[in-house]
Amino acid sequence: MNDFPGAPAPASAAPAAPGRDGDRLRVLAAMSGGVDSAVAAARAAEAGHDVTGVHLALSANPQSFRTGARGCCTVEDARDARRAADVIGIPFYVWDLAERFRQDVVEDFVAEYEAGRTPNPCLRCNEKIKFAALLDKALALGFDAVCTGHYARVVRRPDGTRELHRAADAAKDQSYVLGVLDARQLAHALFPLGDTPTTKDEIRAEAEARGLAVARKPDSHDICFIADGDTQGFLARRLGTSEGAVVDEDGHRLGTHQGAYGFTVGQRRGLALGRPAPDGKPRYVLDISPVDNTVTVGPAASLDVTALTAIRPRWCGPAPTGPGTYTAQLRAHGAAAPVTAELADGELRVAFAEPVRGVAPGQAVVLYDGTRVVGSATIASTRRAAAVAR
């Protein structure tokens, strides 16, 4: 169940003692302007909690972010969030976290691509903004929990500690992007949408029944801080263009590109190769080398990864000891794969029971024990079944 400490704790403190079922908590609801966060705030208020809505202003110039209904960082979104709060009957504020977002999410995103890695900005936003900057500020102001519209569950163990689990509806589960949360953050996290297997149509119908104008608002897509959805163009404006070679596994030049940062491991489209493969089959990005600005391509079989090493592990509870058997998820909507994993010398070493594809340095690997999220780490290198490896 989603229950939380009954008394506020300072930002530096360990999780406070859990509250009893039915405790009335002071809840800060992060309202993006979309239907999920609006329904989550409404459910928290309906449960009897003292809820305050807050919209995070993440851009110094909101018009530069996505307009209309596709993002979560626009002037329109802030207005939608305010209208939803008015209907729910809760206080509402806009908090300016633009500078923190720029440093911790946008600049990190650019730096990762520049280094030849493929980051996930949603994980970084959850880690650094919603459950660090926002949560710390909420606790300092006396709130007990931060509420969001993520589809995931926080389960209280008999000893009072919290576990992060997949949502009841596996089709909408978002626990992957929450795998960066630690035990202290989970102790103050509220996910009202994760406990029941409710379809998105049912969420929209609930919003409509509550009189929320966002009931039919389309879901957000892509990356909120890239205004036109053109990631390669965004990176080119930030990093400039630099012609480099596209080569095969033997080093033969097949074409050129305008910046290695515009590619990701496993990519098939947009390679602009000068000649087809000898067997006529598609080729994929196997490796990105920012040092010599080279992109290596090859057959799909060369993408098979048998093991990886990941750094900067974050645990949703105690760190595991010794080797263990888990399932691992590598993308927000990817399938889970059976693995063995072990923490050694501060690194997470993961071996797959069967080879997997599309594994890129910079991505997060999230470990699960059944539905429980064990923790996550950032992929640093992979071991492949074929020749090309990083």
Query: Residue 58 has which token pair?
Result: 């993440």
pLDDT, one tens digit per residue, over 258-290 is 888 888 898 988 887 877 788 888 899 999 998
Which helix (H) or strand (E) is 166 found in, with range?
strand 162-166
Task: Give me the half-sphere count of Cα atoms (radius 13 Å) on the Cβ side of residue 22.
Answer: 0
- What phi-psi label fits residue 123: left (phi over 0), alpha (psi between -120 and 50 degrees) or beta? alpha
- Tell me how crowded residue 212 is: count the other CB atoms within 10 A of its CB: 23
What is the distance between the alpha carbons of residues 384 and 358, in angstroms, rounded to a whole number? 11
pLDDT, one tens digit per residue, over 128-183 is 999 899 999 999 999 999 999 999 999 998 988 899 999 998 888 999 999 999 99
Is 310:378 a contact under the CB 8 Å cutoff? yes
Is 240:260 a contact under the CB 8 Å cutoff? no
Long-range contacts for 276-283 (Cβ within 8 Å, ≥24 apart)?
283/248
Q: Which of 216, 232, 258 is the last residue of a domain?
A: 216
What is the distance between the alpha carbons of residues 73 and 283, in angstroms, rounded to a whole number? 37
Query: Residue 79 has which token pair?
Result: 């207005």
- CATH number of residue 106's parent domain: 3.40.50.620
- Specify whether 249 is located in the same domain as 200: no
- Specify whether 252 is located in the same domain as 104: no
- Specify whether 121 is located in the same domain as 203: yes
Is 15 part of a structural domain of the chain? Answer: no
Question: What is the identity of the amino acid at 166?
Answer: R
Maximum alpha-carbon separation in the chain: 67
Is 31 part of a structural domain of the chain? Answer: yes
Judge whether 125 counts as a catalytic residue: yes
Boundaries of domain holding 127: 26-216
Is 36 part of a structural domain of the chain? Answer: yes
- Specify whether 199 is located in the same domain as 56: yes
Q: Which of 278, 301, 324 is the last residue of a domain?
A: 301
Choice among 122, 125, 147, 316 that is catalytic? 125
- Specify whether 143 is located in the same domain as 210: yes
Confidence at residue 277, expressed as pLDDT on a 0 to 100 scale: 81
- Specify whether 356 is located in the same domain as 210: no
- Specify whether 310 is located in the same domain as 166: no
What is the distance between the alpha carbons of residues 266 and 360, in angstroms, rounded to a whole number? 8
Confidence at residue 60, expressed as pLDDT on a 0 to 100 scale: 67
- Specify whether 47 is located in the same domain as 128: yes
- Specify whether 156 is located in the same domain as 269: no
- CATH number of residue 248's parent domain: 2.30.30.280
**In terms of DSSP bridges, do strands 253-257 and 244-247 run parallel, antiparallel, or are they unpaired?**
antiparallel
What is the distance between the alpha carbons of residues 185 and 179, in angstroms, rounded to a whole number? 11
Confidence at residue 73, expressed as pLDDT on a 0 to 100 scale: 64
Q: Which of 301, 322, 338 is the last residue of a domain?
A: 301
- Specify whether 261 is located in the same domain as 187: no
- Specify whether 315 is located in the same domain as 361: yes
- Specify whether 57 is located in the same domain as 79: yes
Is 191 part of a structural domain of the chain? Answer: yes
Confidence at residue 2, expressed as pLDDT on a 0 to 100 scale: 38
Is 225 part of a structural domain of the chain? Answer: no
Is 221 part of a structural domain of the chain? Answer: no
Is 235 part of a structural domain of the chain? Answer: no
Confidence at residue 159, expressed as pLDDT on a 0 to 100 scale: 87
- CATH number of residue 312's parent domain: 2.40.30.10
Choice among 72, 73, 147, 224 that is catalytic? 224
pTM (2 decimals)?
A: 0.87
Confidence at residue 4, expressed as pLDDT on a 0 to 100 scale: 30
What is the distance between the alpha carbons of residues 338 and 273, in angstroms, rounded to a whole number? 35
Query: Residue 257 has which token pair?
Result: 């590109």
Split into its structural domains, the chain has a count of 3
Question: Residue-wise pLDDT tens for the chain (390 aa)?
Answer: 333 332 233 333 333 333 445 588 999 999 999 999 999 999 999 999 999 999 998 876 655 444 443 445 677 889 999 999 999 999 999 999 989 999 999 999 999 999 889 888 989 998 999 989 999 999 999 999 999 999 999 999 898 889 999 999 888 899 999 999 999 999 999 999 998 888 888 999 999 999 999 999 887 766 888 877 788 888 989 999 889 999 999 899 998 998 888 888 989 888 878 777 888 888 999 999 988 999 999 999 999 999 999 999 999 998 888 899 999 999 988 899 999 999 999 999 999 999 999 899 999 999 999 999 999 999 999 998 864 444
Is 329 part of a structural domain of the chain? Answer: yes
